[in-house]
Amino acid sequence: MDKEKETPTPFEDALERTGNGLYNVLLVLTCGLILLAIGVDLFGFGLVVSVACDLNITVAQKGILTSLPYVGILLVSYIWGYISDTCGRKFSLIVSVQAAFVLSCLASFSTNWWILGLMKFLSVCFSCAANSATYTLVGESCIKRVRSKYMLLMTCLLILSPGIGAVMSYPTLLLDFETEIPFLGINFTPWRLLIIVLALPLGIGGAAICFFHESPKFLINCDRNDEAIEVLQHMHSINNRDSKDNFQVTSIYLEDAVATKQTSLCRAMYELGAPLFRPPMLWRTLQLFFIVAVVYFTNNSLLVWLPYIMNTVMLSMEQNTTTVGDICSVISINPTSEINGTLSANATAITPEVCLGYIEDNVIITLFMAQSIYAFLTFIISYLMKWRRIVLLTILTISSLSGVLLNLMPEPISSVFLLMVFTCTNLGMGILASYFVDLYPTSCRGMVACLSIMVGRTSTFIGINVVGNLIFYHCHVTFYMWALLVLSSVLAAWFLPPDKPLKS
């Protein structure tokens, strides 16, 4: 018997013995809360910018403010990938989420638009680490049978975050108060309180993750086998309501472990990332990164401009009950209608320069309903993971078709509906995350996950500015070209590994 205990056990077999129970469920809920918090804080910032009237933010400044957080993600994602792969998933989550919470709260006291942008930039530089570390921690702490499903369930909350952010914003902005802060020379108004409200989930998630263990797979990969076994024993005990001593594993080995050596930070980061762009992983990396870029470009970029588009459509329908034509006929701007970036009191259209100071009820309802439906569909997709390639192809195809059809609708309502369907690429985020966990070794999994987020946010940054500059002036052409881009991602997804039934 002692001889059997001394026989090294493969990590996946040892993890299977811990089972699937309370520990895994709580870990998934906590990581899901952190993802929700990131989305609420990031997408909610667009709402903050649109109602911060006392800062007198111009159109150009709005573009900079809404794009700046994505610049932060680009600059530090690679560094956070290194920290995640060398210091641990839990460590990177605790530091990043709690720091992001503090910085977001400080942003509420900004005295002008560029300080607001700087504080949000610094906040996102920390919070972006959690976008990949959460998936990696869950993927390395849960048994294979439920791994992909759990990651998709977490994505449900991430997808729901814009809607939750809108719902949290609505009652906050209904408040009517103004408290002077003399030493800063500002008045604390509802939009400043909104920044703190949107940051609260970050604080809660940052505190909750402290109660969980580091990834046992990461510990083994760092030759900390005794700690890994102790973590697995605790997981087994909680999941099975059993004694830790009944976990009959005393030695573990990792089949895909990679030896590490002392080296400089830059060299270590290069060695972690370089294998991703060399055979045999080069083609797979480029393929997945391209699909990620299209998914984020389509969904996130459009979400930033959605409040303005919805306000414009609603105002047009209120003023003309017989409005006909697709959404492009409503939101297209005639440059001659603007004089020095302002509108007259009797203007019949909204321009991005106009600051209403509130969010229309219909925007809240539409955003929440759309994201709730997408979250529910993601939950359904979590049970279809053994057909994940087929599901991803279906999602991208539907999005591409919607981008074409919304140009052909005879009236705005159906066109708006297809616009929301066009953003359904977000349903593929969890599926793509599962590919990054399954197709890459432990040693560079955190790095590839962070780089994928970096690619996604780069495309979002580009998309926000492209959409803002084109969609209101060349609407039909923009959507046709956009639909063609999504269609190209269908072709890329076609060459993903064929679906295989998961082992029970």
Query: Does the residue 475 lie in any domain?
Result: yes
DSSP state of 459: H
Query: Does the residue 503 lie in any domain?
Result: no
Which tens digit of pLDDT belongs to each residue from 21-71? Answer: 899 999 999 999 999 999 898 888 888 887 888 888 876 677 778 878 888
Gyration radius (Cα) of the chain, Å:
24
Residue that the structure tokens 């997945």 belong to: 288
Above pLDDT 70, what percent of the chain? 86
- DSSP assignment of 142-175: S-HHHHHHHHHHHHHHHHHHHHHHHHHHHHHHH-
pLDDT exceeds 50 at position 3: no
Residue 488: its pLDDT value, please?
Answer: 96
- Are 247 and 18 in contact by the 8 Å Cβ rule? The answer is yes
At 422, list the tokens: 């066009």
Start-end of H helices in 52-143 = 59-86, 89-107, 113-141
Full residue range of the structural domain in which residue 382 is found: 2-494
Query: Does the residue 286 lie in any domain?
Result: yes
At 172, list the tokens: 């906050």
Residue 339: its pLDDT value, please?
Answer: 35
Number of domains the chain contains: 1
DSSP state of 320: -
Question: What are the DSSP E strand ranges found in 357-403?
Answer: none
Above pLDDT 90, what percent of the chain? 28
At 48, list the tokens: 């903050």
Residue 489: its pLDDT value, please?
Answer: 95
Query: Does the residue 502 lie in any domain?
Result: no
Residue 64: its pLDDT value, please?
Answer: 78
pLDDT exceeds 80 at position 419: yes
Question: Of 390-399, 465-474, 489-498, which gets the smallest average pLDDT?
Answer: 465-474
What does each C-alpha distance from 476 to 315, 325, 326, 381, 406 come to in angstroms?
21, 12, 10, 32, 9
Q: Is the backbone peptide bond immediately before 280 cis, with ω within 30 degrees of 0?
A: yes
pLDDT band at residue 343, thresholds of 50, 70 and 90?
Answer: very low
Higher pLDDT, 361 or 458: 458
Which tens digit of pLDDT belongs to each residue from 142-151? Answer: 998 888 788 8
Over range 184-193, report the average pLDDT.
90
In angstroms, the CA 499 to CA 152 distance is: 16
Residue 267: its pLDDT value, please?
Answer: 67
Over range 146-161, report the average pLDDT.
83
**What 3 state SS string does 272-306 have?**
HHHHHHCCCCHHHHHHHHHHHHHHHHHHHHHHHHH
- Are 247 and 236 in contact by the 8 Å Cβ rule? The answer is yes
Instruction: Name residues whose C-beta falls within 8 Å of residue 204's C-beta, 6 or more positions apart in sequence.
Output: 33, 37
Query: Does the residue 479 lie in any domain?
Result: yes
Over range 152-171, report the average pLDDT.
85
Q: Kindly give the interhelix angle for 361-381 and 412-422, rounded to the nearest 10 degrees.
A: 40
In angstroms, the CA 162 to CA 444 distance is: 30
What does each C-alpha distance from 178 to 47, 49, 70, 167, 194 come to in angstroms?
19, 18, 31, 22, 13
In angstroms, the CA 132 to CA 288 distance is: 15
Over range 454-466, report the average pLDDT.
83
Over range 444-470, report the average pLDDT.
80
- Are 195 and 104 in contact by the 8 Å Cβ rule? The answer is yes
- pTM equals 0.75
Residue 363: its pLDDT value, please?
Answer: 73
pLDDT exceeds 70 at position 342: no
pLDDT exceeds 70 at position 268: no
Instruction: Name residues whose C-beta falls within 8 Å of residue 228's C-beta, 6 or more positions apart in sequence.
Output: 216, 217, 219, 220, 252
At 451, list the tokens: 């780089």
Query: Does the residue 500 lie in any domain?
Result: no
Query: Does the residue 339 lie in any domain?
Result: yes
Residue 421 CB neighbour total at 10 angstroms? 18
- Are 108 and 193 in contact by the 8 Å Cβ rule? The answer is yes
Which residue from 497, 294, 327 is spatially nearest to 397, judged by alpha carbons? 294
Which CATH number goes with the domain that contains 252?
Answer: 1.20.1250.20
Query: Does the residue 238 lie in any domain?
Result: yes
What does each C-alpha distance from 368 to 39, 165, 296, 374 come to in angstroms?
13, 9, 19, 10
**Which of 56-65, 74-83, 293-302 has the highest mean predicted lDDT (pLDDT)?**
293-302
Question: Of 173-182, 264-273, 320-329, 365-374, which gets the smallest average pLDDT?
Answer: 264-273
pLDDT exceeds 70 at position 125: yes
